[in-house]
Amino acid sequence: MSTPTADPDRATPARPIAAAIAAVIRNDEVLLVQRANPPDVGRWGFPGGKIEAGETIPDAALRELLEETGVTAEALHVFTAVDAFDRDAGGGLRRHFILIAVLCRWISGEPIANDDALEARWVRLGDLDRSGLALSLDVADVARRAAGLMGEVQP
């Protein structure tokens, strides 16, 4: 079996990049950040980032959460994955990320944007579709799924 290679005329990686996202639920709210870097600069999504070699998915999600927001949480469950594509102005693929979602229970801290986040805030789950925030693809669906799962794991 041959190994795919990147197009030599582009900086596109030959394979998708694995990243973890923290879906933090607190009561009826979800923690979102406004992204400072591609993909989806300026859009709102979950705190997260690339998984480091030797790092577990939950550990990566918690590390990125703390780095981007100052919030600490408990990782409960890896529950879904979504694709995120970083495209150039002409629509060409620069990078393909696989975002692996980790359900997290808030422990402490109020969000303060750090690292890769322009802004960070709690958003009421019921307001996701009418918040006026430019959400990244699948954010509202993943947040609702996380909230449903949180209801199943609450003591």
- What residues are annotated to the active site? 119
* CA 79/CA 149 separation, integer angstroms: 9
Q: What does DSSP assign to residue 38?
A: S
Residue closest to 39 by CA, chosen among 100, 88, 105: 88
User: Residue 83 in contact with residue 99, Cβ under 8 Å?
Assistant: yes
User: Residue 78 in contact with residue 65, Cβ under 8 Å?
Assistant: no
Taking the CA atoms of residue 62, residue 98, residue 116 and residue 45 in that order, the dihedral angle to the nearest 10 degrees is -90
Classify the phi-psi angles of 138: left when phi > 0, otherwise alpha if psi is within -120 to 50, otherwise beta: left
